[in-house]
A = this chain, B = another copy of it.
Amino acid sequence: MKSMVKHQHEARAKIIKAMAHPSRLFIIEELSKHERCVGELTDMIGADASTISKHLSVLKNAGLVADEKRANSIYYTLRCPCVMDFVGCVEDVLSANAKQHNEILKSCKK
């Protein structure tokens, strides 16, 4: 693989990897509706605040979210709402999987 193409795929993979975690997906989805501060997200997810803070730093590092300090909280926002379209596509894959799974079950019963 040529090195330029390789770099391109590494850069893309870095973004996708940042999304590839249940809590981070939850955060992305939540931020697509609302800006939220760390404490709110921590309460919603139910993990240690430091864990959520690290997840947010992964997302920020990938350029997926932006943060803004206000009062004594830091509010995070989704930088590119288009990532939510992707979730729809992932759901398509999941339902295709479920459909296939059902067909296999059916053919076994026969």
Contacts and interface: CB of A to CB of B under 8 A. Distances in A.
Contact of A85 (B11, B89, B97): B89
Chain A interface residue bracket vs B: 35 or more
B19 A16 contact: yes
A78 B29 CA distance: 26
A90 interface: yes
A83 B79 contact: no
A106 interface: no
Interface string A88-101: 01111110110010
Interface of A: 1, 5-6, 9-13, 15-17, 19-26, 29, 44-46, 62-64, 79-80, 82-83, 85-87, 89-94, 96-97, 100
